[in-house]
Structure 1
Amino acid sequence: MAFVLASASPRRLDLLAQLDIQPDRVVPSDIDETPGKAELPRPYAARLAREKAEAVASQHPDTIVLAADTVVAVGRRILPKAETESEARACLKLMSGRRHHVYTAVAVIDAAGTRRERLSDTVVTVKRLTDEEINAYIASGEWKGKAGGYAIQGRFAAYVKAMAGSYSGVVGLPLYETNALLSASGLSANGAGR
């Protein structure tokens, strides 16, 4: 049974490797990721993962397709995947000294077309960041293309006071939920069922 990862994220590939699962193909989805008017972060993450999985599954029938989406939110506000220094700086200032949620939704469509979904909700508490710390993090470039303007698996970990939930979910693919979905779809960790 062919397994397709509907994501170009190298972090998701690395996380799947921790389950000893290697996709047969990597096919990034091309969907509109604009949040709907007044769309809340949690359902937004779930919708994007679902739409990504459906878009790729429609092109690759008779395969198992996995898609995921990570959304960083402060309250009801969805933070962008930072592409500019000013976006990243605004995210860091907003998160400084407070808690935020990282929602990572996972959707799997099996070869029979059955869709299964899970969502990981992790609460991350960031220390109060000084201007010097923000400037140094911006200079590192680690924030580029990252939801909320940071990567927890890098330098930013030094600013995280507490975390309740899934570390791998914050990185981009919650392994507990992912393993459960793939197992239910006939693909098990360590390559069993392939």
Structure 2
Amino acid sequence: MSVFQKLVLASGSPRRIELLQQAGAEPDRVFPADVDETPARAEHPRSLAKRLSKTKAEKALAALSEEEGFEGAFILAADTVVAVGRRILPKTELLDEASNCLRLLSGRTHRVYTGICLVTPSGKLRQRLVETKVRFKRLSREELESYLASGEWRGKAGGYAIQGLAGTFVVKLVGSYSNVVGLPLYETVSLLSGEGYKVHFGWLSAARTA
């Protein structure tokens, strides 16, 4: 694969790495682009997801533009935002934060937005925004306390991980499941393929070694 087919993931999220691998797109470099994720005043969740994914992509591009072997790489960035109405929920690090989020989500429908941003080898930026609606069951006190005790909520937008124990809370999901995990696969693969990245090359390689 040529230098122009190298892929950089501007995220250190194990979930996004696993999802890319699931799609047959193994990143050649993982570059966690840490940025200030504080929402601007009155910023809509959709706008926040798009802005942060673009900021992460641009930060990775600036850092890697002069690094040998990556000057013509595809750079993929993403950011996931969980919201109830216009209220943006945090990526929970404290027990009280997680408790507050789960109590708010209990018995309600919320939305998960993921902004994805791709920098092409020619330096163009391509963006997509994906929205999924998720409805939680009404959580009992035992369920809430047990989930908080599991620690699975730590570092997760909205205080939960749908691919883990919290999957049992979901009554209904409308849209992309992988979007809620952190990277909408259909839109990501479509974006990469549309810009010339040979995603299916990895599928053929896997078939030959199977």
Give the TM-score, by structure 2 length: 0.89
Equivalenced residues, count: 192
Matches of residues 99-114 of structure 1 in structure 2 within 5 Å? 99-114=109-124
* Structure-1 separation of matches of 2:178 and 2:34: 24
Once superposed, what is the RMSD of the aligned Cα atoms? 0.9
* Structure-1 separation of matches of 2:76 and 2:145: 36
| 1:73 to 2:77 alignment | no
Matched with 1:120 is: 130
Instruction: Report deviation, 1:94.
Output: 0.3
Matched with 1:54 is: 58
* Structure-2 separation of matches of 1:54 and 1:113: 10
Instruction: Report deviation, 1:12.
Output: 0.4
Matched with 1:24 is: 28
Question: Per-residue CA shift, 1:49-76, capped at 9, x if unaligned?
Answer: 0110011011223211000000000010
* Structure-2 separation of matches of 1:170 and 1:3: 23
**Where in structure 2 are there 5+ consecutive unaligned residues?**
66-71, 203-210
Equivalent residue letter for 2:54: R
2:100 is matched with which residue: 90, 93, 103?
90
Question: Per-residue CA shift, 1:9-61, capped at 9, x if unaligned?
Answer: 00001100111111110001122111101101011000000110011011223
* Structure-2 separation of matches of 1:114 and 1:180: 16
Runs of 4+ in 1 over 6 A off after TM superposition: none
Equivalent residue letter for 2:37: E
1:145 is matched with which residue: 147, 155, 168?
155
Higher Rg of the two aligned structures: 2
**Where in structure 1 are there 5+ consecutive unaligned residues?**
none
Give the TM-score, by structure 1 length: 0.96
* Structure-2 separation of matches of 1:188 and 1:104: 23
| 1:129 to 2:139 alignment | yes
